[in-house]
Amino acid sequence: MKNFKRITTVLVVLFSITAGITFNSCNKYEEGPSFSLLSATKRITGTWELTETLLNDEVVDVNDMLDMFGEMPMDTSMSEFEFDISEITVNSVMLTFEKSGAGNLAVSISYMMFPFTQNESMTWTFDDDKENVSITVMGDVQTFEIIRLTNKELWLRRVETTGGVTNTTIMKAEKEED
């Protein structure tokens, strides 16, 4: 009977230590989750819609930040056509991450009530610790810190200093249903 109690006590202690190490090591992202049975690759794979953008902790409308996505080439066959950039409305921004590391960036916009979508192929990779994701679109590499990655929410942070001014951008996205 004493051996059974001793074995039980040892097993409970070992289980507690193992569970503590496991749960602490799984909380790699600042905003969670604290535990997931799905790998980071399985969670990020899919199509995400940008739902909120914060610049220096202030919610901003993506329409006020068109240059945030970099320059997109314009069709030069219409060079005599001039337009007012203030007439462009961003309707949605979608990112698709495929398991292979390929993907797509789709920016759906309207210009003077005429909708169209700009699609660009992209590639993506995690760093070794899966704490950052690098996204390459049109040869431009942007690296983001992952601050939340569940199977339904993706929050990315980018800190950038230009001309002595530091800006922190946080983009929050929700996964589309399969």
Query: 61-87: per-residue pLDDT in tens?
Result: 887 765 554 444 444 444 555 666 777
Pairing type for strands 102-111 and 140-149 reads unpaired
What's the CA gap between 148 and 145, in Å, rounded?
A: 9
* pLDDT single digits (tens) 20-53: 444 444 468 988 888 889 999 999 999 999 999 9
* AA letter at 57: D
Average pLDDT, the chain: 82
Whole-angstrom distance, CA of residue 159 vs CA of residue 168: 4
User: For residue 100, is it left (φ>0), alpha (ψ between -120 and 50) or beta?
Assistant: alpha
Q: How confident is the model at residue 114 (pLDDT cuts 50, 70, 90)?
A: confident
pTM reported for the whole predicted model? 0.76
pLDDT digits (tens, 9 = 90+) for 140-161: 999 999 999 999 999 999 999 9
Collapsing DSSP to helix, strand or coil, 61 comes out as: coil
